[in-house]
């Protein structure tokens, strides 16, 4: 977004704006169909905004939501009463915990700190040089 703000639309790939227009129109049409379908059929039509969120915030959020939804599904099968009572609190805590790590992660990235998880497998001589 910062590059787009500084350099303008010329910084985008070749057909990016055309795709944005097409998908915007598709989202409006899907919402119109969903509104016209009635409650019984509308529950089978996906909400375009919900499908767009992972593209905006990144894939890690989509994976977290998928795993969290699966855990909630299993929890509801085991104990529906507790899952309904504590599910939103647990989800809020997990989302907040992920957001809290964003600030230290950004500071470390700006400082140029490399995480210790990244590994290279080198020969003994190449490792001694590095």
Portion of the chain with pLDDT greater than 90, in percent: 20
pLDDT at 127: 65
Domain ranges of the chain: 1-45, 53-124
State how far the alpha carbon of 59 is from the alpha carbons of 14, 53, 56, 64, in Å: 24, 9, 9, 9
Q: What's the residue count for the chain?
A: 130
Residue pLDDT, tens place only, 30-85: 999 999 998 899 889 888 887 777 677 766 666 777 778 888 899 999 999 999 99
pLDDT at 21: 92
The pTM assigned to this predicted structure is: 0.47
């Amino acid at each position: 977004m910062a590059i787009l703000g500084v350099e303008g639309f010329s910084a985008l790939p070749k057909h990016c704006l055309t795709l944005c227009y097409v998908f915007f129109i598709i989202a409006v049409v899907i919402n119109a169909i969903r509104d016209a379908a009635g409650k019984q059929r509308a529950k089978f039509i996906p909400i375009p905004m919900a499908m767009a969120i992972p593209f905006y915030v990144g894939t890690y959020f989509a994976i977290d939501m998928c795993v969290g939804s699966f855990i909630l599904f299993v929890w509801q099968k085991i104990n529906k009463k507790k899952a309904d009572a504590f599910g939103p609190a647990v989800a809020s805590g997990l989302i907040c915990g992920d957001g809290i790590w964003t600030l230290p992660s950004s500071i470390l990235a700006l400082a140029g700190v490399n995480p210790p998880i990244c590994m290279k497998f080198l020969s003994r001589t190449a490792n001694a040089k590095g």
